[in-house]
């Protein structure tokens, strides 16, 4: 790949860049996706399959590059056993807030306790 990997953050609509703003403020340092879709892109400016050490360009829904992050940790986790470092990294108040927010964002999924997620932690580079 001749370019850096990319990651795109979704909001309520194409004008909602609240997740990117949380990254820029240092509040959001993690994200999740369905474990079985981790290697797949999720949007035009998203590659999926990030690995520890990857330097990744972060895009909003309008295709604007907003910042750069470094992937620091990747692991699989069940929806019913979200560790504190993950819900905090997702800028949530507690595990219940994390679960409610993801049920809201992913109404098409049956988010049972054993539903598998892939967590990606990162740090802001620029």
Complete DSSP assignment for 67-123: EEEEEEEEEEEETT---HHHHHHTT-SSHHHHHHHHHHH-TTS---TT-EEEEEEEE
Q: Select 5-124's CATH number: 3.40.50.1820, 3.10.400.10, 3.40.50.300, 2.102.10.10.
A: 3.10.400.10
pLDDT at 120 over 80: yes
Name the residue among 84, 59, 79, 80 with its Cα closest to residue 69.
59
Q: Where are the domains of the chain?
A: 5-124
pLDDT at 1 over 80: no
pTM for the model: 0.94
Query: Is residue 30 within 8 Å of 90, Cβ to Cβ?
Result: yes
Give residue-wise pLDDT tens across range 55-80: 999 999 899 999 999 999 999 999 99
């Amino acid at each position: 790949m001749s370019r850096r990997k990319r990651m795109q953050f979704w909001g309520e609509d194409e004008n909602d860049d609240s997740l990117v703003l949380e990254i820029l403020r240092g509040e959001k340092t993690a994200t999740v996706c369905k474990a079985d879709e981790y290697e797949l892109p999720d949007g035009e400016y998203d590659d999926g399959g990030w690995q520890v050490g990857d330097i990744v360009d972060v895009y909003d829904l309008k295709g604007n590059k907003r910042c750069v992050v470094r992937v620091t940790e990747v692991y699989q986790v069940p929806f019913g056993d979200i560790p504190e470092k993950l819900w905090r990294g997702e800028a949530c108040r507690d595990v219940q807030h994390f679960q409610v927010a993801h049920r809201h964002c992913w109404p098409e999924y049956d988010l049972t306790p054993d539903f598998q997620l892939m967590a990606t932690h990162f740090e802001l580079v620029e």
